[in-house]
Amino acid sequence: MLGVAREKARVEGVGVDGEEVVRFLEGDVGALEGLEGLELGNGEGEEEEEEEEKFDVITICSALVLLDRPGEAMKGWVERWLKRGGRLVCDVPCPRAMLGIKTLARVGKMVGVETLGDWEWVEGAESLRKMMEGAGLDARVIETEAWEEVPSRTKFLGRMGEEGVWGVEEGGDVFDDLTRGREKWRERREEARGLFEVEWRGMGGEDGLVREVNGLFVGIGVKR
C-alpha cells in the first residue's frame, strides 16, 4: 500500500522537485514510539516545541479493525502525536459488513490459526464513539449508507445467485472459497470448517438467509 501511495503522490505531482510535502514512513501503527522520522521537538522534551510539531489531523482508513489493540493504539496517537484541537478520523465496518473475513477471523482464534485483527468489539456506532472518547477525543460517529464497492466483501455466490445473500447452510462453501489454497488452514481445515458453519448459521435470519450489508461507521474526533 505504501507503493500505491507513493505512486499516487507521483501522479498527483505532490512533493515533486525534491520538495518534501508528503513523507512515507514504514512501521507498526500499534507501536510507533521510536520510529525514525517521527521524532518530535529537539529531543530535550520541550513541551511547547513538541506541541507545535504535532499533527493537525491523523487518519486511519480501513485498518483499525486489523489492529490487535485498537483502543490502546488510538490513545497513543492522540496523546503523543495529535495537537490539542486536532482531529482524528477513522472508520470501521458495520456489524453486518464483510461477514466472510470477519467470521474467518473469529474461527481462526478458536482453532489457533493466526488471522489479522480484532473485529469483535464493533457492536455499533457507540463502540467506536466510546473508544474515541477513551482516547481523549470529543467524538461523533456517523453510519454510511450501504455501498457496493468494498474490497473485503464476501465474493462467494451462493444458491441465491446474488452477492451478499446466502442460505444459512452455505457456511462450509463460503469457508472453502475464502481459504482455498491457503496453507495456514490446512491442518485445522476440518475443525475450522465445522465451526465456520455453526457461526454462519447463527447469523441467519428467520427466512433462513444470511445477509451482508456493507456500510461503515466513520468517526471524527477532536482532541480535548
Q: Report how far residue 36's alpha carbon sits from residue 140's, in angstroms, rounded to the nearest whole number.
A: 32
**Which residues in this chain contact ligand SAM in the complex, by CB under 6 A?**
1, 28-30, 61-63, 66-67
User: Which residue, 209 or 220, has its beta carbon nearer to ligand SAM?
Assistant: 220
The least CB distance from residue 30 to ligand SAM, in Å, is 5
Q: Strand 82-93 relative to strand 209-211: parallel, antiparallel, unpaired?
A: unpaired
Nearer to ligand SAM by Cβ, of 1 and 21: the residue is 1
Min dist. Cβ of residue 70 to ligand SAM (A):
10
SS3 217: strand
In this structure, the number of other CB atoms found within 10 A of the CB of residue 23 comes to: 8
CA dist 218 and 224 (Å) reads 19
Q: HEC string of 162-202?
A: CCCEEEHHHHHHHHHHHHCCCHHHCCCHHHHHHHHHHHHHH
Q: Are 86 and 138 in contact (CB under 8 A)?
A: no
Return the number of the residue (38 or 66) whose C-beta is nearest ligand SAM: 66
Nearest approach in angstroms of CB 4 to ligand SAM is 7
**Which of helix, strand or coil describes residue 21?**
coil
Mention every residue, 6+ apart, whose C-beta is less than 8 A from residue 176: 193
User: At closest approach, how far in Å is the CB of 221 from ligand SAM?
Assistant: 18
Q: Which residue, 29 or 125, has its beta carbon nearer to ligand SAM?
A: 29
- Which amino acid, residue 61? C
Report the residue number, 33 or 44, with the smaller CB distance to ligand SAM.
33
- In whole angstroms, how close is the CB of 66 to ligand SAM at the nearest point? 4
CB closer to ligand SAM out of 137 and 216:
216
| Smallest gap from residue 61 Cβ to ligand SAM (A) | 4
